[in-house]
Amino acid sequence: MLGFLEKVRDYTKEAVSAAKYLFDGLSVTFDHMRRRPVTVQYPYEKLIPSERYRGRIHYEFDKCIACEVCVRVCPINLPVVDWVMNKETKKKELRNYSIDFGACIFCGNCVEYCPTNCLSMTEEYELAAFDRHSLNYDNVALGRLPTSVTSDPSVRPLRELAYLPEGIMDPHDLPPNQKRAGKLPTQIIKELQEEISQGKDTVDSTDMVPNKSNSTN
Ligand code: SF4
Ligand code: SF4
């Protein structure tokens, strides 16, 4: 009889611990049901890239003065500026300009230091190609205007998932004026600027208050 009771006790212990492990595993699953999605149905849906996204570089041939600053500031001296000196005018003549996106690390140095602003970073990130040599963009390919997620009719643009309104799990069909859960960087900057201007106003107004000790003297 005692042996039977011990068996029952052991069995119950094992059943309880198995149920505990099962519940631990399921708690992770249930926890994910309360979380926001982190994936989109690419390529039918795409997230709108942030304002300062560093994608494919756009280049304007007409603005370039062949100064080669972009080459010097590039960590791998990547841009190729092909120019010849015109002996009559004693000026550089630009022939070609190219950047190999197979090697570019999209650091943005060239864009930052270009004196004529003929380089800019776009929101284009789909640069995959079958041949690595086709990633070497010449001035014509670099001059192509970028595609935008919001203006592409075949794509459904989605807002950033991190800024979904509170309690909303699905990023589809959101009313545009609904309050966001988080603030956009632009909103934070605006608030900071307002705070700074208010602070200045306060400082200015305190400066204008006459100093009592001085006025009494
Ligand atoms: S820094 Fe700008 S202007 Fe100078 S060569 Fe490069 S792209 Fe042209
Ligand atoms: S983004 Fe950076 S790595 Fe790419 S070409 Fe410009 S400076 Fe070079």
Taking the CA atoms of 121, 122, 127 and 132 in sequence, report the sign of the dihedral they define.
negative
What whole-number distance in Å separates Cα of residue 100 and Cα of residue 46? 25
The residue behind tokens 């611990």 is 17
Domain boundaries, the chain: 47-158, 164-204
The per-residue pLDDT for 114 is 97
Q: Which of 54, 55, 57, 53 has its CA nearest to residue 138? A: 57
Contacts of 19-24 with CB under 8 Å at 24 or more apart are none
Read off the pLDDT band of 39 (50, 70, 90): confident
Mean pLDDT of 36-51: 82
Atom of ligand 1 nearest to the CA of 79: 6
The per-residue pLDDT for 191 is 82
The per-residue pLDDT for 184 is 66
The per-residue pLDDT for 210 is 46
pTM: 0.67
Q: Does domain 47-158 have CATH number 1.20.1740.10?
A: no
For residue range 124-162, what is the model confidence (pLDDT) as tens digits? 999 999 999 999 999 999 999 988 888 888 888 877 676
**Distance from Cα 158 to the centre of ligand 2, integer Å:** 29
The per-residue pLDDT for 131 is 93
Distances (CA, A) of 100 to 48, 56, 114, 135, 138: 25, 11, 18, 6, 8
Query: What ligand is nearest to the CA atom of residue 104?
Result: 2
The per-residue pLDDT for 203 is 57
- Alpha carbon 79 to chain centroid, angstroms: 24
**Distance from Cα 101 to the centre of ligand 2, integer Å:** 9
Which residues lie below 8 Å from residue 26, measured CB to CB, with a gap of 6+?
none
The per-residue pLDDT for 217 is 35
